[in-house]
Amino acid sequence: MTNYEPRTIAFGAEILHSPMALRADVVQRIHNELYGNREVAYQNFQVAQDGIHLTNPAIAPGQISAVTFMPDRILLREELRGTSVEDFATRVVNVIGTAYRTLQTPLSLGQQFWVRSLINTQHSTDSRTFVADHLLAGGQEALKMFQRPVHSLGLRMTFPATSPETPLVNLRIEPWVQEPRSLWLEVVGQFGAPTPVDKLPQLGHALYSTYRFLTGPTLDYIGRFDLP
């Protein structure tokens, strides 16, 4: 089987809970507690129309390190910061644990995690050509029937949950426009089972499950077509 070295460029988590009235002073207490832990600290605090944001400054274009508190969910994002899956799992479990204790939230009603990575195909120097010729039936010849040049193309697949413990998974495979040889992969895992506050470490397991879908069956699938 073809071996790849995925370069993960983004992690995200959306943790749902029962609707509540957000108070800036309560979220400020969460910010202060997180600030004392270097692994999960955020430097900035901002109240905005779309929620209350805790962020870290970007040190390069496109970087995001943020957690957003909304009335019915908490959204965490780490993008283009060289974050590992272990680092993000630590952040999610600690941020949500601190938040739920402070907000007195008894459980999460559901979770969604996403992972975005880049890989280089081993037998093609153009990811768009690879997708067209190897992942789509008919290849580039079939695309000529549109009588227009193709700006973008890709695959999108949805895999249903097979049990209450397994996620619904959405998968996207597309060329990466900023780097002709790289394929852009996104896996989104949606978990519908409630998670009580004393079981929050399970959020880390859900993230790892989403990540393994990318590094396991997704890369195996691509490898079947990445041939000389």
Query: Could you tell me which of 151, 120, 154, 118 has the C-alpha nearest to residue 136?
Result: 154
Mean pLDDT of 84-89: 97
Mean pLDDT of 84-113: 97
Q: What pLDDT, in 10s, does the model give residues 28-59?
A: 999 999 999 989 999 999 999 999 999 999 99
Domain boundaries, the chain: 11-105, 108-228
Read off the pLDDT band of 16 (50, 70, 90): very high
Helix H or strand E segment including 69 = strand 64-70
Identify the CATH assignment for 11-105 out of 1.20.120, 3.30.160, 3.10.20, 3.30.310: 3.30.310
Neighbouring CB atoms inside 10 A of 41's CB total 15
Compute the distance between CA of residue 32 and CA of residue 57 in angstroms, rounded to an integer.
17
The three-state secondary structure class of 73 is strand
Helix H or strand E segment including 74 = strand 73-79
What local confidence, expressed as pLDDT, does residue 148 receive? Answer: 84
Q: In what order do the strands lie in the sheet with 7-16?
A: 44-48, 51-55, 64-70, 73-79, 7-16, 110-120, 182-191, 168-175, 155-159
Mean pLDDT of 63-85: 97
Residue 57 near residue 43 (C-beta atoms within 8 A): yes
Query: Could you tell me which of 33, 47, 46 has the C-alpha nearest to residue 55?
Result: 46
Residue 3 in this model has a pLDDT that exceeds 90:
no
pTM to 2 decimals? Answer: 0.93
Residue 114 near residue 10 (C-beta atoms within 8 A): yes
What local confidence, expressed as pLDDT, does residue 138 receive? Answer: 75
Residue 122 in this model has a pLDDT that exceeds 70:
yes
What local confidence, expressed as pLDDT, does residue 141 receive? Answer: 79
Mean pLDDT of 162-171: 90
